[in-house]
Amino acid sequence: MHPNDIQDRGDPHSLAPIQLEAASVQEEAAQLKRGRGVRLALNMTLLVALAVGAGQWLNSVDTKNSYNHAAAQLDRSESTQAEGFMRCVLPDLQASQLTSTVTLYGTIENLTEQLGKAYGDQLAACAPLLEEFESTVHKIRAPADMTRRLQEVSLAASAVKQSWQSYQEYLQTPNQPYDYVKAAPLIDRITLAWQTYHTTNGETKQALVQVN
């Protein structure tokens, strides 16, 4: 074997390509790891953003549903319970006539003149419907920006109940004959309370729907 061959094999520089190749592989591995880390961070950021967006969307849907639900409850409380009571105490009155205070007043006056004090017994029989109506209105809830409006509807509903209760108490007072002069302001109070409730309820329903 030629001495130069031995010298060439012992030359430390003969391993340089192998060392450089190993270093290159390690660097590539590190770059891959860094790349995976960056992708993982981006994926996590995207997932968080999607979760936040989904949460905000769900909150928006829930809030919208709350407005719609409150509006539907107000509508049912008037068309089913309030008008149900009014049909009970005023059998011949049509729903379309409830918006006229003149018609409402005249109907109450005519019934009282026909039945006299006995009309108080009819009011007493219908009173549970009025209690249910008031209770339902008081339980209706909506987002905080509608709290004041709902409170106004609740107060108006209570005023309707109190006005009818006052008339019932007058009619059922023993040993006191029917007197138109005494009955008139009580009937006025009923018509005013009903008109206020009807208007307030309608305005609140409209406000709830317009929010959407």
Render pLDDT for 52-67 as a digit per residue (tens, 0 to 9): 554 554 454 466 689 9
Give the closest residue to 124 by CA, choosing from 170, 192, 183.
170
Q: Which pLDDT tens digit goes with each residue over 107-132?
A: 999 999 999 889 999 999 999 999 99
CA distance 188 to 193: 9
How far is Cα 128 from Cα 178, in angstroms, rounded to an integer? 24
What average pLDDT does the structure give for the chain?
A: 82
Contact 114, 171 (CB under 8 A): no
pTM of the predicted model over 0.85: no
Does 3 score more than 90 pLDDT? no
| H/E run at residue 48 | helix 16-76
Q: Cα–Cα distance between 19 and 9 in angstroms, integer? A: 16
Q: Region 35-51: what's the mean pLDDT? A: 63
Please report, for residues 13, 44, 48, 131, the alpha-carbon distance to residue 38 in angstroms, rounded to integers and kept in the order given. Answer: 38, 10, 15, 65
Domain boundaries, the chain: 65-211
Report d(CA 204, CA 210) in Å as an integer.
Answer: 10
Q: State pLDDT tens for residues 81-91.
A: 999 999 999 99
Q: Name the nearest CA neighbour of 86 among 19, 11, 160, 155.
A: 160
pLDDT at 65: 84
What is the sign, positive or negative, of the torsion defined by CA atoms of 166, 175, 91, 191?
negative
